[in-house]
Amino acid sequence: MPSRIRVDVTKKQNAIHPFLYGQFIEFLGRCINGGIHDPDSPLSDADGFRLDVLEKVKGLNPPLLRFPGGTVVKIYHWMDGVGPKEERKRQANRIWGGVIDHAFGTNEFIQYCRKIGAEPFLVVNMTTGTPEEAADWVEYCNGTGDTYYANLRRSHGFEEPHNVKYWGLGNEEAAVPDIGYLHDPKEYVKAAWEFAKHMKLADRSIKLVLPGDKPEWNKAVLDELHPVCDYLSLHYYASSLNGDGAEYFSHAAKLEKRIAETRELLAEYPARVENFDRWYRFPPRQREIRIALDEWGIWQIGNSDDYVRDMETVYNWRDALLVASMLNVMQRQSGAVTMATFAQMVNILAPIFTNEQGSFLQTIYHPLKLYREHSGNWKLSCETDSAMLTDGEGKPSAVPCLDVSATYHDGREEIVLAVVNRDPSRPAKAVVSFTGADVPEIAEAIELTCPSWETVNGFGLDDQVTCTVKTDARHDADGGYVFPPRSITLLKHRSA
């Protein structure tokens, strides 16, 4: 029996925010130092940016970049990363080991964002930092008046404000930490309200991202802080700890479930807040609270005692199929998730891998680039009935072979079906039908595939991922289309 994909084109369900395809960088191992920034490398430009990496980042075209962490925000003080480079301190990275030399600080981050066309998203230190320090950072970045921190930025060579709109109030604060004290939601609420006030009084237009966690934490935080919460953050890392067969792909369903549960909780809060019960000189939230999936990716727990080195994972094609499935989840849940940053961009759990001589594209780079480049900007409703993946002994698993999301691109007038066939060895035929429009013919099929689930890329190898663009692909007489084994296909339909 062929699978079925039914797409309803009568209604564009919601806009898909381009921020879904964002990226994240942290002072963790070789993500920033030795990854995107390496002033001593012959491969870097005069600003110290690795040019080979920059070119690959531009291929990903992230519309949003999150910095400086991650857990490292607990020890990060932004003033250490501005001003003359020779005066910047060499700080022991007590979170991840090694040294933060602060050669890459706020202004270098903003310069990088401008080079790649990304909006900056900064996360403040609520553990060893103060509300005043965070507000000073807002003033340094966004201030336009004749004030100390705005003038300090000007004295550092940046006359125009950086206009940083998105600010995270801490990171994973619910986690019982090695350092920090905010994991009791009452403590977090108390601290976050102070941070929110100070920062909003420095710039009332900024948008705040509050760290989420389990439902109880989310509820406790939102009950108190929903008037100033623009985004609730979720983090999701897949791993093969519970198996690396068909069940590996169940991470996509788990992610979707977490998003759906969070979405339900968010619906309990008003879409806009009329008034604070006390008077403040900034307006409360005027829009629904959205989800920021501001760390997501695949984190295979290594078995060496160098866990940072273990995070320099080399990803295989099965991982890339999971990344594509997770992108499908985000597109399907794009009514609630309007911001996501992949963790992380270079070397650490990342799609781009460097050494001193060069860099290569990991398998997972390809779906990240493909979806960013070709997905539509509206979500379409889509139902899929698929055969199930089988386990090693041929028994069906609970995981469907095909995973699909459907979008509409209103500039290109295209219906784009993103179809992942996760079966390692068998093609999957699906009959595609459209409600509300004549079945448009396929204009283009873009197909990514690889020799096996286990295939990896590496230094000295040609890229093992094949991208084929077919302009002559057609549905058969019944609307059927055959998706190759272990493939990611974007089927673009344009009305005649």
- Contact residues toward ligand AHR (CB under 6 A) are 26, 69-71, 171-172, 295, 343-344
- Residues with Cβ < 8 Å from 30, sequence gap 6 or more? 312, 346, 347, 348, 354
Q: How many CB atoms lie within 10 A of CB 82?
A: 21
Would you say 171 or 250 has its CB closer to ligand AHR?
A: 171
Would you say 94 or 474 has its CB closer to ligand AHR?
A: 94
Write out the E strands in 200-263: 207-211, 231-238
CB of 238 to ligand AHR, least distance (A): 13
CB of 126 to ligand AHR, least distance (A): 13
CB of 172 to ligand AHR, least distance (A): 5
Would you say 291 or 491 has its CB closer to ligand AHR?
A: 291
Torsion sign over Cα 496, 370, 67, 291: positive
Whether 56 contacts 111, CB under 8 Å: no
Would you say 221 or 404 has its CB closer to ligand AHR?
A: 221
CB of 373 to ligand AHR, least distance (A): 25
Would you say 294 or 423 has its CB closer to ligand AHR?
A: 294
Instruction: Identify the burial level of 352 via C-beta atoms within 10 angstroms of its C-beta, where 0-12 means exposed, 13-18 middle and 19 or more buried.
Output: buried
Q: Does residue 111 have a cis peptide bond before it, meaning omega lies within 30 degrees of 0?
A: no
CB of 326 to ligand AHR, least distance (A): 15
Rounded Cα distance between 194 and 40, Å, is 41
Residue 448, both tokens: 């990514």
DSSP-assigned states of every residue in 113-162? HHHHT-EEEEEE-SSSS-HHHHHHHHHHHH--SS-HHHHHHHHTT--S--
The residue of the chain with the least Cβ separation from ligand AHR equals 70
Tell me the catalytic residues.
172, 295
Would you say 34 or 70 has its CB closer to ligand AHR?
A: 70
Give the DSSP H or E segment for 177. Answer: none
Give the DSSP H or E segment for 307. Answer: helix 307-310
The residue count of the chain comes to 496
Would you say 269 or 299 has its CB closer to ligand AHR?
A: 299
Question: Minimal CA–CA distance to 106: which of 142, 131, 75?
Answer: 142
CB of 349 to ligand AHR, least distance (A): 6
Rounded Cα distance between 327 and 337, Å, is 11
Q: How many CB atoms lie within 10 A of CB 252?
A: 27
Torsion sign over Cα 350, 41, 38, 119: negative
Would you say 339 or 419 has its CB closer to ligand AHR?
A: 339
DSSP-assigned states of every residue in 255-305? HHHHHHHHHHHHTTS-SS----SS--SS----S--EEEEEEEEE-PPPSSS
CB of 228 to ligand AHR, least distance (A): 22
- Residues with Cβ < 8 Å from 390, sequence gap 6 or more? 246, 396, 397
CB of 120 to ligand AHR, least distance (A): 18
